Amino acid sequence: MLNDKVKHELITIVGADNVQDSKASLLVYSYDATPQFQSMPDAVVAPRNTDEVAEVLKLCNEHHIPVVPRGSGTNLSAGTTPVEGGIVLLFKHMQDIIEIDEENLTVTVQPGLITLDLINAVEAKGLFYPPDPSSMKISTMGGNLNENSGGLRGLKYGVTRDYVMGLEVVLPNGDIIHTGGKLAKDVAGYDLTRLFVGSEGTLGVITEATLKLVPMPETKKTILALYEDIEAAAEAVSSIIAHRIIPTTLEFLDQPTLKVVEEYAQIGLPTDIEAVLLIEQDGPQEVVDRDIEKIAALCRDNQAIRVDVAKSELEADALRTARRTALSALARLKPTTILEDATVPRSKIAEMVRAINDIAREYKVDICTFGHAGDGNLHPTCLTDVRNKEEIHRVEQAFEAIFHQAVELGGTITGEHGVGAMKSPYLHLKLGDEGIAAMKGIKQAFDPNNIMNPGKMFAKSERKRVVVHA
Ligand SMILES: Cc1cc2nc3c(=O)[nH]c(=O)nc-3n(C[C@H](O)[C@H](O)[C@H](O)COP(=O)(O)OP(=O)(O)OC[C@H]3O[C@@H](n4cnc5c(N)ncnc54)[C@H](O)[C@@H]3O)c2cc1C
């Protein structure tokens, strides 16, 4: 608990303007983008630099006060809900691009930087930072790093982890460590960089990151393949990959998602078909032309009723933007939108889509599906109402069945949204008790007082969503 003495010490470290504890500000930070989770913090603290982060952590460690690092709160796994109270740590004063190094092709950033600001800044120099989560207009690099976020370009270019070369991290005891760096090769000791990426704020606070950049691809082309059979679309995904073509983007939207997205974006998407694949390839012109031609042929072989090539970059951009709005568009339909991200090997996409539809029918719930099909990363999204307890119970049963199915097909309970508080009760499905014990050992070594984002990753008890303590 945060007593007056600790509050005074926090003010001494970061200044009075950077410690908030009014009821209104605590309420604002009591939830994130995840439905059904809410819990009040005791204070909201915004350090101005790494040294202040270190001082804050040292103080909290001494007094066993939970620390919840928070970027923009767009995570979908209750990763920033302060389920055990304590302080929410903001990075609004740490949003800089420290350096773009054009010789080593790296960029060094602070955690509060908005993802799209980074992408735009490096593109202005003819360089490319591929990870592009759909939330990139608002998500921060601290959030991307800690969730190991993916995006539309993940199939060809990988996810955030694949671009992280070095980190500055403040450990719970206030020690500041540096992992990796600008080196293309570095095997000195354990790979702590990889350990911190995707650690969901449970091991320490990332205060700086050095990221790899690649040259901008010469050109790109986008196509839309239309299907009257949802499973044929899923088969086409497997077929493209099996023919050894790796597009930049291979996204899937089912009919309910298409309808809602078109209503919202109004760009002339077809809404009378069962599914579409949005496919993009980039690279040298001749490679792009050749691949797009082959991809179009494979889509037709797999029962596409039409394949349209975007006529201009403007049209292609409208298609990409429409896909990125899928969640926001769906969220307008019902009071509660629950989006999951069960993931399977690419070859199992058709089977997984079929299973999701069967499960939705069995539990009588509305599930729309879209997602990064090329990554096997689907987003079955349930439109529901949290006030309808009976329906919510069925929704939870349906999602549990979906997680079981994904793991049975060799997949996982989350491909990019993280475990947080929301999926912690299901982590054992993927890791088993021994896997969880190994991870708990790592957590204990870094954070023996369990101050870093407690209540996340490891389940205390069975699934419990609405947690409010004011
Ligand atoms: C509309 C929408 C679309 C989305 N699309 C995608 C998508 O395409 N791909 C995808 O992967 N995700 C997506 N997401 C999920 C989410 O946007 C990502 O997980 C994103 O990386 C979170 O960034 P954030 O700044 O909001 O982080 P937050 O939600 O604030 O935090 C995320 C996690 O990072 C930790 N954290 C934040 N900063 C630090 C730090 N400096 N040090 C230590 N821990 C820290 C937090 O404690 C928390 O565990 C989407 C979400 C929405 C709402």
Does residue 144 have its Cβ closer than 6 Å to ligand 1? yes
Cα of 40 vs centre of ligand 1, distance in Å, is: 19
Site of tokens 């298609």:
319
Testing ligand 1's pocket by substitution, the residue of 34, 60, 149, 452 carrying the most ligand atoms inside 8 A of its CB is: 149
Ranges for all domains in the chain classified under CATH 3.30.43.10: 4-90
Testing ligand 1's pocket by substitution, the residue of 30, 94, 129, 134 carrying the most ligand atoms inside 8 A of its CB is: 134
Does residue 150 have its Cβ closer than 6 Å to ligand 1? yes
Q: Can you spell out the DSSP letters for 374-417?
A: GGTEEEEEEEE-TT-HHHHHHHHHHHHHHHHHHHHTT-BS-SSS
Cα of 135 vs centre of ligand 1, distance in Å, is: 8
Tokens of 168: 């500055």
Ligand 1: nearest atom to the Cα of 420: 49
CATH architecture of 217-325: 2-Layer Sandwich (3.30)
Q: Where are the alpha helices (DSSP H) in 266-388?
A: 285-301, 313-324, 326-330, 349-363
Report the C-alpha gap between 420 and 403 in whole angstroms: 15
Give the total residue count for the chain.
Answer: 470
The whole model's pTM is what?
A: 0.94
Ligand 1: nearest atom to the Cα of 75: 29
Ligand 1: nearest atom to the Cα of 169: 42
Ranges for all domains in the chain classified under CATH 3.30.70.2190: 217-325
pLDDT by residue for the chain (470 residues), tens only, comes to 689 999 999 999 999 999 999 999 999 999 999 998 999 999 999 999 999 999 999 999 999 999 999 999 999 999 999 999 999 999 999 999 999 999 999 999 999 999 999 999 999 999 999 999 999 999 999 999 999 999 999 999 999 999 999 999 999 999 999 999 999 999 999 999 999 999 999 999 999 999 999 999 999 999 999 999 988 998 999 899 999 999 999 999 988 889 889 988 888 888 889 999 999 999 999 999 999 999 999 999 999 999 999 988 888 888 888 888 888 889 888 999 999 998 999 888 888 988 998 999 999 999 999 989 999 999 999 999 999 999 999 999 999 999 999 999 999 999 999 999 999 999 999 999 999 999 999 999 999 999 999 999 998 755 444 444 33
Tell me how many degrees the CA angle 225-409-421 measures, rounded to the nearest 5: 95
**Residue 310 DSSP symbol:** -
| CA torsion through residues 191, 193, 194, 199, sign | positive
Q: Are 345 and 376 in contact (CB under 8 A)?
A: yes
Using DSSP, state whether 245 is helix, strand or coil.
coil
Does residue 111 have its Cβ closer than 6 Å to ligand 1? yes
Q: Which fold has domain 4-90?
A: 3.30.43
Using DSSP, state whether 80 is helix, strand or coil.
coil
Q: Which residues pair with 227 in a beta bridge?
A: 275, 304
What is the predicted pLDDT for the residue at 347? 84
What is the predicted pLDDT for the residue at 461? 58
E strands within 50-104?
67-70, 87-90, 97-101
Q: Which residues pair with 280 in a beta bridge?
A: 222, 249
Report the C-alpha gap between 271 and 257 in whole angstroms: 9
Does residue 172 have its Cβ closer than 6 Å to ligand 1? no
Does residue 73 have its Cβ closer than 6 Å to ligand 1? yes
Ranges for all domains in the chain classified under CATH 3.30.465.10: 97-215
Does residue 180 have its Cβ closer than 6 Å to ligand 1? no
CA-CA-CA-CA torsion for 258, 263, 265, 270, nearest 10 degrees? 40
What is the predicted pLDDT for the residue at 343? 94
Report the C-alpha gap between 267 and 398 in whole angstroms: 33
Written out in words, the top-level CATH class of the domain with range 97-215 is alpha beta
| Residue among 397, 260, 263 nearest 334 (CA) | 260
Cα of 75 vs centre of ligand 1, distance in Å, is: 4
What is the predicted pLDDT for the residue at 56? 98
Give the residue whose CA is nearest to atom 32 of ligand 1: 143
Cα of 138 vs centre of ligand 1, distance in Å, is: 9
Testing ligand 1's pocket by substitution, the residue of 32, 129, 147 carrying the most ligand atoms inside 8 A of its CB is: 147
Neighbours of 125 (CB within 10 A): 12
Cα of 139 vs centre of ligand 1, distance in Å, is: 6
What is the predicted pLDDT for the residue at 467? 43
Does residue 91 have its Cβ closer than 6 Å to ligand 1? yes
**CB contact set of 10 (below 8 Å; sequence gap of 6+):** 19, 43, 45, 56, 59, 87
